[in-house]
Structure 1
Amino acid sequence: MSRDVGDRLDDVIRACGVIRRYVDDDALPEDLVYDAVRMRLVEIGEAVRMLPSAVTSAEPGIPWSRVSLLGERLTRRYFDTTPAVVFGTARVDVPSLCAAVHRLRAAHA
């Protein structure tokens, strides 16, 4: 199935929203949130990896190449990914990424 730029941007927006809900829900066990956030970060990395640089260049403040490597890092180097890194990414980096992707999505409506 082929996915266009809008679909991929929507995937990132959805994953960011879910991550926010997970980290904001104090009733969820931390290990469950850690696993769920890692999976959503993998999704974000894969979606971003497929975005053309002509699209991402409109938001130069985002380190797109690092974002696109998230999936690889979290799946192939899982053993050196700590909860502090995952939760820090979720709380600090994901909101900025989400705002940038919303702007890109508005430009590609």
Structure 2
Amino acid sequence: MRREFLILSELRDAAIAARDLVGDLSAPDINADPMRRAALLWQFTVLGEAANQIPDGIRDANPQIPWRAASRMRNRIVHGYWDIDVETLVATAADDLPAMIAELEALIGQFT
């Protein structure tokens, strides 16, 4: 269970970092700041990789958490990095990650 706790914590931390990197910025704002864009891409990559490491039993018991979407976004970033839609990253960080963070925090609480 310690491994699952660590992976879930890493996933949550990456989601928080991505959300915070976007804040109130727009996609053009993110694109204009190469360091912020790179940091955002990295956090989504970590988020997706951590989601891939979650055991099936935990994923199946928590279908409200978008495990596969996180994994697919990671794969898109890693394998198609030259054609990333920053609008999608910004919208995901602003619109989807807050709910995911809350779900992850509730799940992590079950391991403590």
Same fold (TM over 0.5): yes
CA contact (8 A) 1:42 1:71 kept: yes
After TM superposition, the structure 1 = structure 2 runs for residues 1-109 of structure 1, keeping only pairs within 5 Å, are 4-24=3-23, 30=30, 31=33, 32-109=35-112
Question: Can you give the 5+ residue segments of structure 1 that lack an aligned partner in the other structure?
Answer: none
Distance 2:4 2:97 in 1: 19
TM-score (norm 2): 0.81
Residues of 1 paired with 2:91 and 2:100: CA distance? 13
What is the aligned-residue RMSD (CA, Å)? 1.9
- How many pairs were matched up? 105
**TM-score of the superposition, structure 1-length normalised?**
0.83
Which structure carries more helix by proportion? 2
The answer to whether the 8 Å contact 2:16/2:97 transfers is no
Amino acid at match of 2:42: M
Gaps of 5+ in 2: none
For the Cα contact (< 8 Å) 1:55–1:104, is it kept in 2?
no
The offset of 1:17, in angstroms, is 1.9
Tell me the percent identity.
Answer: 26
